[in-house]
């Protein structure tokens, strides 16, 4: 099927250029916030968060009274990103030079690592690198006051959760409440897959936020020009040969000429055979025949079935720790596109894994977490001279009416599409919105191309709302798209005005209960306007600009929020989907939505009433049919029944 998202960038080189201190654009922006006690850095994979932390930490050690730095990463392999790094030669005042003794991201027992952690606090050493697990276990034997005058940096911060059972979240809260420690939190995706917030609002408000967008990163590259995100749906099992074509779904899309990282399904997912090693064998069989495996590196050399060339393959699915350490060590030292061709992984090689030459991230099976999808896509979005295009493909099983878990399959497919909707928003440039006033009231302002003035637009009044709009809009969209009510409404069965003016503000109120009605409406308008306009096309004709939004083509100076509210901001991907799967699959999706749709409310029925009258007028007095196949007609009919019943109840109540 075609890509649901296809974005082209300008190759400005800006995100890779270096300033006088040796900092890239994102690092320079992060360094400006270095004096904050609590700093939250949101920046995409490959933007240089590890080195940004080094710059900030060294300044805190020299200039801010900080005595020690603890860096916590989610898994051992990421610890290598915080090894010795020369910074002085590029203009900074110090090098990052941790004692290897206190890099605890090495093989060994957890107990000994905890002891080393406690020894570090008593020593004169300044820098320690450990895993999240080591930090959690070590904290059991600590008084938070022992972390006074310490910087605690948490990489991949989305592992923290406001939920009470999340131990890392509890550790963070205790450090903030009971010590004067500084915190730097770093993440490429400040949202989780479980719909639970990373931080409670009162804790999040204490952080100074630095946000660097995916668009800023990719638009400023030198080599990478475009990024595609697509889905490939199949029947049966992805590793079984199709009776008609004679090849498997995997063989159809696996291109040996692309440097590819393949993530096989989680063993508990519907797409998995539960035999992970057999699945690795199938991938190897698709590629060709094994010539030999290098004993020193663990690299498997495969003779290509198509071209006879030798392919170098890394198997990270294997269970033997020594063999896995051998190949991961080799991968950390890769410095040429010729060093490896294909990487096969299960749970590894997602967060913090650096393979700049990767062109294609091929993920088999539905991923429930938008965070995980963004992390996986990040494996292919490094800038490298061997590629101008990066591709993410998700290979997903089509729902089957004979399958006992058909509803789960439909839900998974819809959630996969919502991930592409979010990525389309994440990958596009951000817009700034202002209130468009009448000409006589308006003062001249010089705005950039990404500033759009909208009539009827509400501006935020509180600093909290301004911060949400400035730094959290994509995170908020992720939460909205993961909400079960939204999932039921997205495929066009609900009027856009209902989605935009009823459903979205309800979700925003649940997420930000502290906001005033005015600020909720302002945040809502920003979410909807940003989403709609990112899915639109802006065209210049003479000295005027026009915007093409769904079926509307209007002068950009005449945009009103009421017009924007008439457009479903998330419809495009489902239109592509409807052309890419069978009629039977669409019927299954429709049946699933009908069985789980949210109930009619008085608010929605009243909003639909003008549309019902318009529909009746257009259809010569005929009322909408509750059994219609068209979901909008059916919803209007349901609203009509609801309003009649409401009128009857009110009449009875009034005697």
Identify the bridge partners of residue 261 per DSSP, sorted by sequence position.
343, 361
Helix (H, G, I), strand (E, B) or coil at 250: helix
Which residues lie below 8 Å from residue 639, measured CB to CB, with a gap of 6+?
600, 604, 605, 608, 609, 612
Write out pLDDT tens, residues 545-600: 888 776 677 888 888 888 888 888 777 766 766 666 767 777 777 666 655 555 77
- Span 107-131, mean pLDDT? 89
| Tokens coding 288 | 């060709």
Q: Is the pLDDT of residue 502 over 90?
A: no
Q: Is the pLDDT of residue 440 over 50?
A: no
Between these two residues, 415 and 21, which has the higher pLDDT value?
21
Helix (H, G, I), strand (E, B) or coil at 187: strand
Ranked by mean pLDDT, which of 108-112, 300-304, 478-482, 535-539 comes out on top? 300-304
Buried residues in 330-360 as b, exposed as e (16+ CB within 10 A) = bbeebeebebbbbbbbbebbbbbbbbbbbbb
Between these two residues, 407 and 119, which has the higher pLDDT value?
119
Q: Parallel, antiparallel, or unpaired: how do β-strands 182-187 and 208-211 relate?
A: unpaired
Q: Contact at 8 Å (CB) between 351 and 74?
A: yes
Write out pLDDT tens, residues 249-308: 888 889 999 999 999 987 777 677 788 888 899 999 999 999 999 999 999 999 998 899
Write down how long the chain is: 655
What is the structure's pLDDT at 190?
A: 65
Q: How far apart are CA 626 and CA 639, in angstroms?
A: 10
Q: What totals of helices (H) and strands (E) does the chain contain, helices first?
A: 23, 20
What is the structure's pLDDT at 261?
A: 95
Write out pLDDT tens, residues 144-166: 999 999 999 999 887 777 676 78
Which residues lie below 8 Å from residue 137, measured CB to CB, with a gap of 6+?
110, 113, 114
Helix (H, G, I), strand (E, B) or coil at 159: helix
Q: Contact at 8 Å (CB) between 579 and 568?
A: no
Instruction: Say which DSSP state 503 is in.
Output: I
Write out pLDDT tens, residues 257-272: 999 999 998 777 767 7
Q: Contact at 8 Å (CB) between 130 and 104?
A: yes
What is the structure's pLDDT at 546?
A: 81
**Closest to 141 (Cα-Cα) out of 169, 117, 161:** 117
Q: How far apart are CA 290 and CA 267, in angstroms?
A: 25
Ranking 8-12, 31-35, 163-167, 393-397 by mean pLDDT, the lowest is 163-167
Q: Contact at 8 Å (CB) between 187 and 181?
A: no
Q: Is 65 left (phi over 0), alpha (psi -120 to 50) or beta?
A: left
Q: Is the pLDDT of residue 98 over 50?
A: yes
- Span 110-118, mean pLDDT? 87
| Tokens coding 478 | 């992720």
Ranking 97-106, 494-503, 515-524, 565-574 by mean pLDDT, the lowest is 565-574
- Span 608-623, mean pLDDT? 88
- Averaged pLDDT of the chain: 84
Write out pLDDT tens, residues 175-219: 999 999 999 999 877 666 556 677 777 888 899 999 898 888 889
| Terminal Cα-to-Cα distance of the chain (whole angstroms) | 60
Q: How far apart are CA 234 and CA 399, in angstroms?
A: 9
DSSP secondary structure string for all residues of 166-184 = -HHHHHHHHHHHH---EEE
pTM of the predicted protein model:
0.77
Write out pLDDT tens, residues 47-83: 889 999 999 999 999 999 999 999 999 888 788 889 8
Write out pLDDT tens, residues 358-371: 999 999 887 766 67
Ranking 53-57, 210-214, 346-350, 523-527 by mean pLDDT, the lowest is 346-350
Residue 354 Cα to chain centre, angstroms: 18
Q: How large a percentage of the chain has pLDDT more than 70?
A: 89
- Please give the helix or strand (H or E) that residue 28 lies within, else none: helix 25-31
Q: How far apart are CA 130 and CA 432, in angstroms?
A: 40
């Amino acid at each position: 099927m075609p890509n649901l998202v296809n974005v082209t960038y300008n190759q400005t080189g800006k995100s890779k250029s270096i300033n006088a201190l040796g900092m890239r654009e994102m690092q320079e922006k992060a360094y400006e916030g270095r004096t904050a006690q609590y700093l939250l850095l949101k920046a995409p994979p490959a933007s240089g968060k590890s080195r940004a932390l080094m710059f900030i930490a060294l300044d805190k050690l020299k200039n801010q009274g900080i005595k020690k730095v603890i860096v916590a990463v989610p898994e051992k392999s990421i610890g290598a990103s915080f090894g010795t790094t020369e910074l002085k030669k590029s203009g900074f005042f110090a090098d990052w030079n941790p004692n290897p003794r206190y890099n605890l991201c090495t093989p060994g027992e957890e107990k000994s690592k905890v002891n080393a952690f406690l020894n570090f606090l008593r020593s004169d050493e300044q820098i320690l690198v450990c895993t999240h697990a080591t930090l959690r276990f070590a904290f059991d034997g600590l008084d938070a006051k022992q972390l006074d005058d310490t910087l605690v940096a948490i990489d991949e911060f989305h592992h923290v959760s406001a939920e009470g059972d999340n131990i890392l979240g509890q550790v963070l809260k205790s450090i903030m409440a009971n010590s004067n420690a500084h915190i730097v939190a770093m993440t490429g995706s400040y949202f989780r897959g479980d719909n639970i917030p990373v931080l409670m609002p009162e804790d999040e408000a204490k952080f100074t936020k630095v946000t660097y967008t995916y668009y800023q990163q990719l638009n400023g590259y030198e080599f990478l020009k475009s990024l595609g995100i697509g889905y490939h749906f199949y029947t049966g099992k992805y590793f079984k040969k199709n009776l008609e074509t004679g090849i498997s779904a995997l063989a159809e899309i696996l291109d040996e000429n692309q440097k590819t990282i393949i993530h096989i399904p989680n063993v508990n997912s519907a797409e998995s055979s539960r035999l992970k090693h057999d699945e690795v064998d199938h991938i190897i069989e698709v590629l060709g025949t094994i010539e030999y495996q290098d004993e020193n590196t663990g690299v498997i050399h495969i003779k290509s079935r198509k071209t006879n060339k030798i392919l170098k393959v890394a198997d990270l699915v294997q269970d033997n720790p020594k063999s896995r350490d051998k190949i991961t060590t080799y991968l950390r030292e890769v410095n040429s596109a010729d060093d490896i061709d294909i990487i096969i992984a299960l749970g590894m090689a997602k967060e913090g894994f650096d393979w700049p030459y990767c062109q294609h991230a091929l993920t088999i099976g539905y991923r429930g977490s938008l965070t995980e999808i963004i992390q996986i896509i990040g494996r292919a979005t490094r800038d490298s001279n061997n590629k101008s295009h990066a591709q993410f493909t998700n290979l997903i099983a089509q729902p089957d009416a004979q399958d006992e878990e058909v509803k789960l399959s439909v839900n998974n497919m819809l959630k996969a599409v919502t991930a592409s909707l979010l990525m389309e928003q994440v990958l596009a440039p951000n817009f700034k919105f202002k209130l468009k006033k009448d000409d006589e009231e308006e003062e001249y302002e010089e705005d950039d191309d990404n500033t759009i003035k909208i009539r009827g637009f509400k501006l935020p009044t509180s600093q909290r709302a301004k911060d949400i709009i400035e730094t959290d809009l994509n995170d908020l969209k992720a939460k909205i798209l993961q909400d079960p009510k939204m999932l039921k409404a997205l495929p066009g069965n609900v009027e856009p005005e209902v989605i935009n003016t009823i459903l979205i503000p309800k979700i925003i109120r649940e997420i930000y209960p502290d906001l005033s009605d005015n600020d909720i409406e302002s945040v809502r308008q920003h979410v909807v306007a940003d989403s709609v306009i990112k899915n639109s096309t802006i065209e210049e004709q003479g000295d005027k600009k026009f915007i093409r939004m769904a079926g509307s083509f209007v002068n950009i100076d005449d945009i009103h929020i009421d017009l924007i509210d008439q457009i479903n901001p998330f419809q495009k991907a489902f239109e592509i989907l409807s052309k890419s799967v069978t009629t039977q699959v669409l019927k299954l999706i429709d049946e699933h939505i009908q069985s789980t749709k949210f109930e009619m409310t008085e608010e929605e029925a009243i909003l639909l009433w003008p549309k019902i009258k318009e529909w009746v007028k257009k259809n010569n007095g005929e009322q909408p049919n509750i059994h219609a196949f068209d979901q909008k007609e059916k919803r209007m009919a349901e609203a009509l029944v609801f309003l009649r019943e409401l009128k009857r109840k009110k009449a009875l109540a009034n005697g």
